[in-house]
Amino acid sequence: MNYLEKLHDAVLNGNPTIAVEITEKALREKIDPHILINEYMIRAMDEVGVRFERFEYFIPQLLMSAKAMKSAMALIRPLLISEGEEDNSICAITGTVKGDVHDIGKNLLGALLEGGGFRVVDLGTNVSPEQFIEAVETHKAKLVCMSALLTTTMPGMKTTIDAFKDAGIRDEVIMLVGGAPVTHHFAKDIGADGYKDNASAGVVLAKKLLGVGQK
């Protein structure tokens, strides 16, 4: 199975074509898809996150790694679903808050969460508190990640957290906030569970708070 290391490298180096080739070959040879995900792709995406935080990788590299992982996952996911295993991964809901249509950071986080083994349901942009709540209930999500680029829309994070409290489901989910104007001070004041200033650190925090991948 030595060639599988090439899958790790393809994700790390952001090469979707090779990632797909190796995944196809591995699946033909009946290699357990979980091994591809857990031992090669997640490991590669963890390294991508580390390199991004060290400014060795930049957003284009991160996006290419995400594309490589996503392309490979597109082949693997149907197999997992047919085995009825899809629900084993933790569901994360992502979205930019009401009024905000800036989604670069949110999409990076989504890609890295997927790379970290989460099942991501992206609600897109301009998401109301009611839509966040509905998505959490529908998908039995454990994690909500809200993003805002502007101080004008940032209060929507508090409105959303308050709506979760009013609905009586605040304690059932971890709620993280991020985006250029967001600070630790703000996150604490509005009752969020955490904040990080970049997508990669956000995934590490999410895993920590949910007890995922603790060694």
Partner 1 sequence: MNFKLISCEVFKHELLHCINKSNNNIDTEFIAKGIHDLNSKGMQNRIVKSIQKADQKRFDAILLGYGLCNTWIYGLVAHKTPLIVPRIHDCIGVLFGSKQKYLDYYFENPGTYYQSVGWMENTENKPIIKKRSLQRLYGMDMPQDELKAQFGEENLDYLNNAMDQIKHYSNMAFIDTGLDSQHNYQKKAMAKAEIKNWSFDVLKGSKKLLQQLINGDWPESEFLVVKPGSKVEQSVGEDLMTAVPLIF
Q: Which of 88, 138, 152, 159 binds partner 1 (CB under 8 A)?
A: 152
Spatial neighbors of 122 by CB under 8 A, at least 6 apart, are 93, 94, 95, 106, 107, 110
63 binds partner 1 (CB under 8 A): yes
Phi and psi at residue 106, to the nearest 5°: -65, -40
Residue in this structure with the two tokens 């956000």, named with its chain if needed: 202
Q: Which two tokens stand for residue 10?
A: 């393809």
CB nearer to partner 1: pick between 63 and 121: 63
Applying CB under 8 A, the site for partner 1 has a residue count of 33
CB 146 within 8 A of CB 167: no
16: three-class secondary structure by DSSP: helix
189 binds partner 1 (CB under 8 A): yes
CA atoms lying within 13 Å on the CB side of residue 67: 12
- List the x/- string, 30-59, binding to partner 1 by CB under 8 A: -------------------------x--xx
- Distance (Å, whole) CA 11 – CA 14: 5
- Which segment (87-95, 98-106, 112-120, 161-169) binds partner 1 by CB under 8 A? 98-106
Q: Hey, which residues between 64 and 93 contact partner 1 (CB under 8 A)?
A: 64, 67
103 binds partner 1 (CB under 8 A): yes
Q: Which residues of this protein are in contact with partner 1, per CB under 8 A? A: 14, 16, 55, 58-61, 63-64, 67, 98-104, 107, 125-126, 149-152, 155, 158, 180-181, 183, 185-186, 189-190
